[in-house]
Structure 1
């Protein structure tokens, strides 16, 4: 008995390991083939280039003027000038830092979208697992119902039962077939959704085993790690840094702008040349820009705190839900394993120890319990998948 138990345990571990590798393979394939992610990657690259524009000195300005004198005796005049204007020097350092942080935030937004998409794919796989398990179970139900229907048809032909009993068994058989067809329609729909996420490439997944990660032993300790890994919270934290850097930039832009250049002027055979230096007086152009930057800092800090609270409550609820569903699923699995009366009911029916109506009622109760168990296991897997999505 111990040897058989060990064999079953090894077989179960092998099935779970295979299913897990299969799911990871599908998620990796979807990440590589998904057209939305590929498009988003190109968009991120374009926006990164956009963030790197406008952070350098403006183009130098070159000016040439030629004036013809009238009358001719007064001669002609020509002027050549080249001028370079610039913001206060510290502004360029601030712009460069802002550009780098904005590009980092683009990567975080991409990471967030990637996690959301892979979570969607994982949820589809979990639902597919549920319908795979149902479909496989209904194959057994149809086989049993068909055997009973054939047996009752023979008894009807021999005059041992009436037409009502035969029809009742046949309707049970037909119901099982119809349910199996409905289940397979759902399976095909889920496979098509996965195909769409996989860039139009077919995906096969026949596993009936839910893949679950162990729940954290201490939620608060686990949450601190999850919070530090969240791309959205990292993004909002970086937005605060950007707004603080923007405040420094706006202060620098409120300082005088500088310009310097070279001028060459020629008139009546004489040549004048020299340098030109200019300073703008900051009066109106950046009015209220510093106040706006300070307001943005407060807004981003408030947004981060609000999102942290919502994120904590969301994960806490998922954790509590997962713990409860895990307990319920385990109870169902143990009960159905211990009290599986399907073979006993079949023998009792064939021996005439119970009526057909009694058999159908009791077998229906067992099937309902089995369906409920699969639903609870699916809900548990879905809740756990969302809880651990940060690790995708």
Structure 2
């Protein structure tokens, strides 16, 4: 019922992920060397668990004794025995193996989650840089238009060389910033390509995957099934299974087999039975050690739950604050006509070039702040978005 309600909530969360973001993540998931290594480790863990649920090999012994003094017939002894493992007889070893497989799977899911978070943050940065570079291209065009108009006014004797130099400097600054951000975008693309084992990446999205911030109750419910929490719970189950196995192994161990003694004239053969004597208390000490280890793992699991719940709540509150700031800045941008109005006033002679450049710089700073606020809000919420998408994995 809990999984059904969680799926219902996640279905109606506005996670309008663009197709390109989804395709890129699938490429990273398929090509990532980190996940390939994690899958190999998972298979190795399962193979080790399979080895743990197999019986020990039987032991065979053949001994030949020459007779002494001379004339005494030689004797041959044959012994074959099989130890009876209480862990196998009671099924405890299989339960430990199943718990170990569960832990290995939880480790893989956590690795995948961490990689998804890393990729999601890089994609947020890529979207921001795509939007910012587009904005900078518009700024270059605006600065070039102002420069051309200043040069025409200078030719008419209505502007000075100093004013033209200011306009040219504005253009150079815009071009320099554009080149810097394009270089940063190439670096982000290279990091995304590295996650995909060098696969070519062309990411031109200008829309963030997370359209709206999910509510805190939904995030808290998803935090309860955080991959780190689930792995910690699986580790508790493994530790408890190992403790129960150690209690079973503390019993005396039996062995059965066949024994024979053969001489030239006489043959003796029959069934052999063996038993270990738990005299020195090693089994009891190991069982106590396993019990203490299980208690420690359970304490760690509870601490992990509390820490993650606190971290998720803090991340949501930070994301909400940044989200509200970004929305306020976006609303202000919609209410103002911005650079177009300033440029039109300059070209109509209502503003001097110096005032025009100051106004343009002011509006450019406001747009930059708005774009950065959106990016910061998306970065703060990116891990939450991955948590929601991975909670049913």
Superposed pair shares fold, TM > 0.5: yes
Q: Is the 8 A contact 2:53 2:88 kept in 1?
A: no
Q: Secondary structure at the match of 1:283?
A: coil
Equivalence for 1:264 = 260
Question: Paired residue for 1:377, among 374, 377, 380?
Answer: 374
Write the distance in 1 (CA, Å) between the matches of 2:219 and 2:143: 49
Displacement of 1:176 in angstroms is 0.4
Displacement of 1:89 in angstroms is 5.5
Deviations 1:281-305 (A, max 9, x none): 0123324112111211221121111
> What aligned pairs does 1:325-344 form with structure 2 within 5 A after superposition?
325-344=322-341
Q: Is the 8 A contact 2:150 2:164 kept in 1?
A: yes
Question: Paired residue for 2:353, among 350, 356, 371?
Answer: 356
Displacement of 1:145 in angstroms is 0.8
Q: Is residue 313 from structure 1 mapped to residue 349 from structure 2 by the alignment?
A: no
Write the distance in 2 (CA, Å) between the matches of 1:239 and 1:213: 36
In structure 1, stretches of 5+ residues that fail to align are 1-15
Deviations 1:104-146 (A, max 9, x none): 1111110111011011111101101111111001111111111
Equivalence for 2:189 = 191
> What aligned pairs does 1:227-246 form with structure 2 within 5 A after superposition?
227=224, 229-246=225-242
Equivalence for 1:224 = 221
Aligned residues: 374
Equivalence for 2:247 = 251
Question: Paired residue for 2:180, among 176, 179, 182?
Answer: 182
Q: Indicate how the Cα distance of structure 1 residues 27 and 221 shifts in structure 2: closer, same or farther if over 3 A, else same.
A: closer
Equivalence for 1:121 = 119
Write the distance in 2 (CA, Å) between the matches of 1:40 and 1:244: 25
State TM-score, norm by structure 2. Answer: 0.91
Q: Indicate how the Cα distance of structure 1 residues 371 and 80 shifts in structure 2: closer, same or farther if over 3 A, else same.
A: same
Question: Paired residue for 2:138, among 115, 126, 140?
Answer: 140
Q: Indicate how the Cα distance of structure 1 residues 216 and 136 shifts in structure 2: closer, same or farther if over 3 A, else same.
A: closer
Q: Indicate how the Cα distance of structure 1 residues 127 and 82 shifts in structure 2: closer, same or farther if over 3 A, else same.
A: same
Equivalence for 1:156 = 154
Write the distance in 2 (CA, Å) between the matches of 1:98 and 1:362: 70
Equivalence for 1:27 = 25
Q: Secondary structure at the match of 2:166?
A: helix
Q: Is the 8 A contact 1:210 1:377 kept in 2?
A: no
Q: Which contiguous aligned blocks of 4+ residues in structure 1 show a shift greater than 4 angstroms?
A: 89-92
Q: Secondary structure at the match of 1:97?
A: helix
Deviations 1:66-90 (A, max 9, x none): 1222444212111111111123366
Write the distance in 2 (CA, Å) between the matches of 1:190 and 1:370: 22
Q: Secondary structure at the match of 1:74?
A: coil
> What aligned pairs does 1:286-325 form with structure 2 within 5 A after superposition?
286-325=283-322
Q: Is the 8 A contact 1:263 1:273 kept in 2?
A: yes
